[in-house]
Chain A
Amino acid sequence: MATTNNSAAQAGTATKKRGQFKETWRRLKKNRMAMIGLTVVVFLVLISIFADVLFDYDTVVIKQNTQIRLQGPSAEHWLGTDEFGRDILARLVHGSRVSLSVGVVAVSISLVLGGSLGAAAGFYGGTIDNVIMRFMDILLAVPSLLLSITIVSALGPSIINLMLAIAISSLPGYARIVRASVLTVKDQEFVEAAKCIGANNFEIILSHIIPNCMAPIIVQVSLKVASAILSTSGLSFLGLGVKAPTPEWGAMLSGGRAYLRNAPHLTIFPGIAIIITILSLNLLGDGLRDALDPKLKK
């Protein structure tokens, strides 16, 4: 009897979940700006996956060719060449790999870490809550870019340390959001029911509480990937990002600073790439927020 009930309940949540997903997608599809954002994001992801097919890394992206240095846009080099005669478009395409992967990995790390901390704080309350959230207050008290700068400079500039630095400085955001969501659902009946059937705390948090507070988390993630990419380019701009000759948008921008007068395209194009990426991620994030939480929509 118990098993039938259980499977029936599971089937119930499954249809409800599919329904929720479909409903969200239906609302998202109606939002033209969000769809533009989604299209561009998908396009960027595809470009970064197939970067090697488009431009060969060793012969085009990092190989120096000083005879054609600092050329403006032309039929052969659509966006011109940089100070070492490398094709800027090719470097931007490969740079998208760095930016997107740092964005996604940094956000994943801070989502898992910050989310677990927030969930633990919200679920257990009391001393655990106090200790975790006071620690988050400390992280929050330091301006986030400053914190990332300090971490990267201490660990040494590399792509992994960059991801870590950005992840750590955005931990409090996730901890707070997950904690708040956990607090709103933890006293509801289905959690009590799960406790009654003897589920342990870990199970309850993971399979009953987290799925019920996904909406704000998804929105936060889509917006945070954008700000992680922005921070990455900022840190690289300061020389605290990836090492040369790896193409990265912020580093390319910074490299172009010496040639602002005669070859401004070195600086202009990487900036535009960053803007397009951030803009489309923000459009998608705003759209998701409206689609997931119709109450917020004006």
Chain B
Amino acid sequence: MSRYILKRLVMLIPVLIGVTFMVYFILSLSPGDTAAIIAGEGADAQTIEAVRKDLGLDKPVIVQYGKYMWNLLHGDMGVSYSTKRPVFTTIMSSFPNTAKLAFWSILVAIAIALPIGIISATRQYSAVDNVGMVAALLGVATPNFWLGLMLIIVFSLNLGILPSGGMSGWKSYIMPAITLGTGDAALICRMTRSSMLEVIRQDYIRTARAKGVPEKTVIRKHALKNALIPVVTVIGLQFGSLLGGATLTETVFAWPGVGRLVVDSIKSKDAPMVLGCIVMLTITFSVINLIVDLLYAYIDPRIKAQYKKK
């Protein structure tokens, strides 16, 4: 098992090199003179030239990339062009905010999705099932930034009970978490339902019923445990994408997270910051995916047995 984890972690290295190279190359295509932007408006040609030399922007892209990677290996992500603060500390101060939001959102998603999914499956084609599935379809189709704005209209502007943005106290978590959570809930709910439906038709469920196990126990112990295996994967993947891409919702609610940091940095052409955020988010995303794979093996004894054999 530990060999497998090590192998996966080692495989992460070429992916990260590839990602940084790709993003570095894409960003170098941006129009506009970076040196002029950093030097500020009204700077004379000499100052711009000095800035260019200073930052090594006069060198070929591949040389600049090499220097960036060398520094990155030494834990240095560079300095932001616009705030002049180290990129790493800036990201580290907004990452916990994104993580907190992701945590509450996935909690909201699970709280909505699991009960509805289970009831939908155990009472297939009932009213609960139909309503639940229509809601799930709507949830998948609704752009979360729009849902966020609708919540702001109702709860902030009309009722005035929740703050429309920022991060101040528990109240400010409610709307962003619901906005992100409902979209994921829709996916998790559909997954739970189809997985439960599949399991319920298995022979061992019939056996459990036949030997007189109460229906509640059949569902809870025999069916749910097996049905949840793929659901856990979906939840994990959704959590990973929440950590990596709540950009739109963070923008709507002025949430001080990494997603908004990326958008802001892109707008101010702050290349080191953009690159730093993407490296950070890619690492997080990949590590979460790895954890999900391992968790999968842990909760499914069949897969665990395969690892042991090796």
Residues of A within 8 A of B (CB): 134-135, 137-139, 141-146, 149-151, 153-156, 226, 230, 233-234, 237-239, 250, 253, 257, 260-261, 264, 267-268, 270-271, 274-275, 278-279, 282-283, 298
Contact = CB atoms under 8 A, between A and B. Distances in A.
B89 to A, nearest CB: 21
Interface stretch (B24-32, B105-113, B167-175): B24-32
A236 B15 CA distance: 29
B152 interface: yes
A149 B263 contact: yes
Contact of B31 (A134, A156, A230): A156
A142 B247 contact: no
A253 B137 contact: no
A191 B150 CA distance: 55
What does DSSP make chain A's interface, helix, strand, loop or mixed? helix
A125 B133 CA distance: 41
Given A143-B244, A275-B138, A260 B157 contact: yes
B245 A143 contact: yes
B26 A234 contact: no
Interface in B171-217: 194, 197-198
B95 interface: no
A135 B18 contact: yes
Nearest to A234: B248
Interface in B48-73: none
A154 B143 contact: no
Contacts of A153: 30, 266-267
Nearest to B164: A260
7 contacts: A138-B15, A138-B18, A143-B281, A149-B262, A150-B27, A153-B267, A271-B142
Given A143-B285, A145-B247, 6 more contacts: A138-B18, A142-B281, A149-B262, A234-B248, A253-B146, A267-B153
B241 A143 contact: yes
Contacts, number: 122
A250 B244 CA distance: 21
A239 B247 CA distance: 13
A239 to B, nearest CB: 8
Contact of B150 (A141, A146, A155, A268): A268
A154 B266 CA distance: 9
Contacts of A234: 143, 145, 248
Contact of B15 (A141, A226, A271): A141
Nearest to A274: B143
User: Looking at chain B, what size class is its interface with the partner chain?
Assistant: 35 or more
B274 interface: yes
Given A135-B18, A260-B152, A268-B150, A150 B31 contact: no
Contacts of A239: 267
A256 to B, nearest CB: 8
B278 A142 contact: yes
B97 interface: no
A146 B286 contact: no
B143 A298 contact: no
Interface string B122-154: 000000000000000110111101100110110
Point out which of A141, A230, A233, A257 has the most chain B C-beta atoms below 10 A from its C-beta.
A141
Contact of A142 (B19, B143, B157): B19
A150 B26 contact: yes
A253 B191 CA distance: 31
Given A260-B153, A278-B140, A149 B29 contact: no
Contact of A237 (B145, B197, B274): B145
B194 A298 contact: yes
B282 interface: yes
A194 to B, nearest CB: 36
A294 to B, nearest CB: 16
A298 B278 contact: no
B247 A279 contact: no
B263 A267 contact: no
Point out which of A257, A264, A283 has the most chain B C-beta atoms below 10 A from its C-beta.
A264
Given A234-B248, A237-B248, A261-B157, A141 B149 contact: no
A134 B150 contact: no
A168 to B, nearest CB: 9
A186 to B, nearest CB: 26
Closest 3 CB pairs of A and B: A138-B18, A271-B146, A278-B141
B286 A260 contact: no
B15 A137 contact: yes
B18 A146 contact: no
Given A154-B27, A257-B149, A267-B153, A145 B248 contact: yes
Contacts of A139: 22
B251 interface: yes
B23 interface: yes
Contact of A150 (B23, B152, B245, B251): B23
Interface in B10-43: 14-16, 18-19, 22-23, 26-31
Contacts of B145: 234, 237, 253
